[in-house]
């Protein structure tokens, strides 16, 4: 991808223009170096090429103010649409510039804003429903469950709210603790410490049936605690969300960490391009948040991809 956009860039620099009729779209993000963002952009690029667009992918290398500057530049240049992958609350000035010039802005897992025509992302509610129902079914609808949540961060808060509802719907499931780990070190270490304390407080085998975590790091911390305490064979079920590589390894190993949910980054990129295409063809987007389906990852399919 990078090489190709380099070539596109060099071609543009050399003055090799494209036909005036071609649609031109700019993708602007401060986070291109992050793996997730790269997958979005690759998916977007693939679909944009099928649609015959001229694409300008701009990475501001972590500089959010530069995202505003580059939005101003591409709006001046006259692009047909702008795609962002950054919190819209931080680039209000740029969104306003685009709105004033009548250039639509679409969010690729960016967040909602009145000036963003649509945001394409994964459904946090659905992801949490997948794993919490997995836990409930796996333990036969009965037992003590430990939850790891993080309510200060809205996208993670909704996951916890759904899991609360699912577990509350099973009369024989009791949530014995709802832990908010300290995430300043990434979340694994503190989750492990908290889980160790809980294991010590509940020494009876079977006294903890499952650990439901709102994202993978606490699940990995809980797994470490359970293995270190020598209680890996009690059948404690652990689930996470996001299916990061470490979580996939743990699931593939066949231990307590049984399930997580993978976002379809490529699909988010493609759907973003399709949404831009709809806007450019004059369609009104009434659904301001567009969800791309996610997939439950278990030992049954972890190696299938």
Partner 1 sequence: MMRLVRRFGGLAGMLAVVVFFAVNLPDTFLTARNLLNVSQQISMLTVVAATMTVVMVMGDFDLSVGTMASLSGVVAAVLFTQGWSIPAALAVSLAVGLAGGLFNGLVVSVIGILPFVATLATLTIFSGLAFMVSDGRTIFGRDIPAAFGDFARGGPVIGTVDDRALVLPNLTLVAAVVVLLVWVVLEQTSYGRRLYAIGGNREAARLAGLPVVGLRLSAFAFTGIGAALAGLMYASRVASANPTQGDGLMLTAIAAVFLGMTLTRDGQPKVLATLAGVAVLGILDNGLTQMRVDSYVREVLIGAIILFAVGLSALGRKGVAWRGLFRRGG
Binding string, residues 212-241; x marks residues near partner 1 by CB under 8 A: ------------------------------
Binding string, residues 156-185; x marks residues near partner 1 by CB under 8 A: ----------------------------x-
N residues, the chain: 305
Say how far apart CA 104 and CA 117 lie, in whole Å: 6
Backbone angles phi, psi at 37, to 5 degrees: -65, -40
SS3 229: coil
Contact between 15 and partner 1 by CB under 8 A: the answer reads: yes
Say how far apart CA 45 and CA 32 lie, in whole Å: 13
Interstrand relation of 54-59 and 81-84 (parallel, antiparallel or unpaired): unpaired
Contact between 6 and partner 1 by CB under 8 A: the answer reads: yes
Nearer to partner 1, 101 or 165 (CB): 101
Instruction: Please report the DSSP string for 89-157 in residue order.
Output: GG-HHHHHHHHHHT--EEEES----TT-SEEEEE-HHHHHHHHHHHHHHHTTTEEEEEEE--TTSHHHH
Applying CB under 8 A, which of residues 42, 46, 51, 73 lies at the interface with partner 1? 73
Q: Output the six-digit token pair for 38.
A: 């790269």
Residue 295 β-bridge partners? 262
Contact between 78 and partner 1 by CB under 8 A: the answer reads: yes
Contact between 101 and partner 1 by CB under 8 A: the answer reads: yes
Applying CB under 8 A, which of residues 38, 45, 60, 294 lies at the interface with partner 1? 60
Applying CB under 8 A, which of residues 22, 49, 65, 197 lies at the interface with partner 1? 65
Computed on alpha carbons and rounded to an integer, the radius of gyration of the chain in Å comes to 22
Spatial strand order of the sheet with 210-213 comes to: 172-179, 142-148, 210-213, 237-239, 257-262, 295-297
Contact between 12 and partner 1 by CB under 8 A: the answer reads: yes
Contact between 246 and partner 1 by CB under 8 A: the answer reads: no
Contact between 21 and partner 1 by CB under 8 A: the answer reads: no
Contact between 62 and partner 1 by CB under 8 A: the answer reads: yes
Contact between 76 and partner 1 by CB under 8 A: the answer reads: yes
Contact between 82 and partner 1 by CB under 8 A: the answer reads: no
Backbone angles phi, psi at 32, to 5 degrees: -60, -25
**Of 145, 110, 31, nearest in space to 288 by CA:** 110
Applying CB under 8 A, which of residues 58, 163, 210, 226 lies at the interface with partner 1? 58
Count other C-beta atoms under 10 Å from residue 278's C-beta: 15
Contact between 34 and partner 1 by CB under 8 A: the answer reads: no
Contacting range for partner 1; rule: CB under 8 A; set: 2-10, 125-133, 251-259, 283-291? 2-10
Contact between 109 and partner 1 by CB under 8 A: the answer reads: no
Contact between 200 and partner 1 by CB under 8 A: the answer reads: no
Positions touching partner 1 (CB under 8 A) are: 2, 5-6, 8-10, 12-13, 15, 54, 56-66, 68-70, 72-74, 76-78, 87, 89-93, 96, 100-101, 184
């Amino acid at each position: 991808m990078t090489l190709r956009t380099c070539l596109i860039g060099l071609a543009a620099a050399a003055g090799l223009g494209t036909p005036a009729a071609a649609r031109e779209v700019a993708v602007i993000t401060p986070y291109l170096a992050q793996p997730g963002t790269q997958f979005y952009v690759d998916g977007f690029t693939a679909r944009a090429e099928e649609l015959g667009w001229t694409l300008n992918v701009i990475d501001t290398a972590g500089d959010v103010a530069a995202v505003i500057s580059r939005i101003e530049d591409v709006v001046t240049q006259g692009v047909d649409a702008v795609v962002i992958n950054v919190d819209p609350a931080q680039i209000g000035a740029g969104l306003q510039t685009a709105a004033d010039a009548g250039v639509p802005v679409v969010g690729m897992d960016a967040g909602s804003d009145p000036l963003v025509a649509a945001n394409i992302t994964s459904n946090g509610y659905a992801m949490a429903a997948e794993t919490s129902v997995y836990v409930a079914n796996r333990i036969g609808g009965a037992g003590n469950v430990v939850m790891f949540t993080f309510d200060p961060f809205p996208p993670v808060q909704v996951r916890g709210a759904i899991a609360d509802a699912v577990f509350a719907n099973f009369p024989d499931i009791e949530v014995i603790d709802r832990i908010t780990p300290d995430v300043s070190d990434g979340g694994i270490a503190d989750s492990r410490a908290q889980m160790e304390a809980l294991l010590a407080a509940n020494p009876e085998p079977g006294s903890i049936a499952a650990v439901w975590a709102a994202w993978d790091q606490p699940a990995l911390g809980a797994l470490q605690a359970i293995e270190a305490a020598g209680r890996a064979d009690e059948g404690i079920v652990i689930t996470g969300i996001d299916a990061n590589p470490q979580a996939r390894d743990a699931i593939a190993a066949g231990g307590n960490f049984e399930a997580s949910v993978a976002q379809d980054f490529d699909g988010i990129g493609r759907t973003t391009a399709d949404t831009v295409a709809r806007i450019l063809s004059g369609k009104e987007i009434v659904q301001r948040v567009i969800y791309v389906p996610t997939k439950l990852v278990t030992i049954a399919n972890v190696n299938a991809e």
